Structures are given as structure tokens and as C-alpha cells.
Amino acid sequence: MDCGFKLDSSIVPISHDRYGIPGASRLPHLLNTPSGQIFEVPAATVELAKGKVLPIGGGGYLRLLPYRYCAAGIRRVNENDRTPACIYFHPWELDPDISPLPMGVIGRWRTYSGLSGMQRKIERLLGEFEFSTMSVAYPYQPGQAASDFVPAISVRTACAD
């Protein structure tokens, strides 16, 4: 807020050994911070039976998991949660010839596996879903109640910024 940000997508509401906030809301919501409120749009996840939450598309999950898993997850978020799915990727993930950095076996696998098919997955997603920027999908204004907020785009949309 100090820098003028209205939206954030830093929360990944999953359990993971390197990041994640298990139990955090999976759906867009207002988040109170020391600097004021910000509208949080978590990375897309699906909730399975008994509250198990799984990531569906972004970074390594988009690279490593089958396209059908990610696409089905986006459809599930759109249809069941009635909200756009926040999908992301890193620019370097579209460079299959990236020079590898020195790291261990697990780090190499997490970072470089799936790079060769990433562009094809992105192209398929762009063909199957409508994408927009976060600010268009969520035209949140500070002071607006979260319960009054309705996404500006159809639910057959995945957000990208």
C-alpha cells in the first residue's frame, strides 16, 4: 500500500517444504497488513475431500504436472468456486536452453524438469481459456468491502499479470 499496490498474489495456500501458508484462504480476500488493506488473490488451488488443498497451475506445478490436470483444476475453480483462477509462470520457464545453475539433484529436478513442454502448455492454456491481467479481473478499490466485490470477468477465465 505504501507503494500504491491494491492487489497481491503472494499467498500459496498449500503445505510445501519451501513455501506456502497452509490453511490460508484459497479464494480472493481482503488482507489486513500494518500498512492497510490489500486485496489478496492466492495462486490457484483446488480443495479435495477432507480439506486437502492441491496446487493446480503456476511455476513448477504448471511445468511438472500434466496439462489435463492443470486445465481441469482451472475449470474446477471457475465452476465450483465461481472465480477466475490465478495462474502464473516465470519468464525463464519459456527458455528451454537456459544455462543451469549449480544445485543439488532435487533442486535441478524442481527447476529444470518440464521446460521443453512449457511453451506448448502455455499455448494450450491461451487457446482454451480467456486470460486477463489481475487489475482487470479484480478491479478492487481500497475501502471496498470484500463481500461487495465481484470479479469483473467471466468465470471461464484464468488471470495472469
This prediction has a pTM of: 0.81
| Residue written as grid cell 491494491 | 6
Torsion of the alpha carbons at 5, 38, 131 and 24, rounded to the nearest 10: 140
CA 134 from chain centre, in angstroms, equals: 11
pLDDT in tens, 103-153: 899 888 888 888 889 999 999 999 999 998 888 888 766 666 655 655 554
CA distance 11 to 55: 12
Closest CA to 118 of 85, 145, 142, 96: 96
For residue range 16-38, what is the model confidence (pLDDT) as tens digits?
777 878 888 899 888 888 888 88
C-alpha atoms less than 13 angstroms from C-alpha of 55 in its C-beta half-sphere: 24
What is d(CA 144, CA 24) in angstroms, rounded to the nearest whole number? Answer: 21
- CA 143, distance to chain mean position in Å, is 24
Residue 71 has pLDDT above 50, yes or no: yes
